[in-house]
Amino acid sequence: IRYCDTLGCDDPPTIYGRVKNLAQEIQLPIEVHTHNDLGMAVACALAGARGAIDGGVDAYINTTINGMGERTGNADLVSVILALRKSSGSKKLNLLEARIDLSQAWRIAKYTSYAFGVPIPINQVGVGDNAFAHESGIHADGALKDRRNYELYDFQELGRGEPEMVETGRKITTGEYGGIKGFRNVYEKLEIKFKNEQEASTILELARYANVHTQKPLVSDELLFIARYPEQARKILSVIPPS
C-alpha cells in the first residue's frame, strides 16, 4: 500500500500517526510518498516510515535524486539515506541494509543535474557546493582540528574530494555531427585507444546515436561506457518503450 501526501500538507507527527494506524489495520508493507511544499518531505518520509515500522509492517520510502519532482519536489534520496544513518533517533535502529553505498552519490547528483538542466542548490544536503564549506572563524578552526566538530559525516563517503579539471581553452566534443578526427581527440584525452578504423567507426556511430538521444554533449562516463561496452550500449540505445 502506498501512502501519498501529494499535497505536501502533512507534518511529521501527523503522518507518523496516520501511517501507524493504517499499518496496524491492514498489516501490509507501506510505501511513503511525500512532497516538499512545506519543506518537510524528508522529515515526513522518515516519520511515516517509522509509523509503519512501529505499526508492525515493513516500510518503503519514495525518493528522487536531488529531490527533483512536481512543484517543490519530493524526498531527496541522499538526504533520506543520511538521515536514516546519521540522525540521533535513527542511526541506532539499523533501518537500512549495510550494502547501501553512497560513494557514487556526488557523481550521480551532478549527472542528474546536467541531464535535466536543473542546478543543484548550493545548500543541498551532502552534494551542494556549501555542504562542507566553512567561513566562520570558530567553525573553520574546529573543522580543521577535527571534522567531527562541525561535520556530521565525511565528504569522502559521498565520493567527493577528488579535484575536477575544467577545460578553459579549445574544446573538442563528439556528437551527432562529429567526425573521426575530433572523435579520436576526445577519446585520447580519456586514454582510450582503438584497434583499428572499423572499431573507431563503430564506437563513433554509437556515440552519435547516444548524442541524438540525449540532445546533450556526452559526459566522460557515457563516452567511456560506450567505448568499453559497445554491445551493452547498443542494447540500451535500441530499447523501445512498450506502447
Q: Count of H helices and E strands in the chain?
A: 9, 3
Q: Please give the DSSP secondary-structure letter assigned to residue 192.
A: -
What are the sequence ranges of the domains in the chain?
Answer: 2-86, 105-158, 180-237
* CA–CA distance, 140 with 163 (Å, rounded to integer): 21
Average pLDDT over residues 131-144: 84
Topology annotation, domain 105-158: H-NS DNA Binding Protein (4.10.430)
pLDDT the model gives residue 110: 93
Average pLDDT over residues 25-48: 97
Expressed in angstroms, the distance from the first to the final Cα of the chain is: 26
Render pLDDT for 195-238 as a digit per residue (tens, 0 to 9).
Answer: 888 888 888 888 888 888 877 788 888 889 999 999 998 888 87
CB atoms within 10 A of CB 28: 11
Q: What is the share, in percent, of the chain residues with pLDDT greater than 70?
A: 96
Residue 242 has pLDDT above 70, yes or no: no
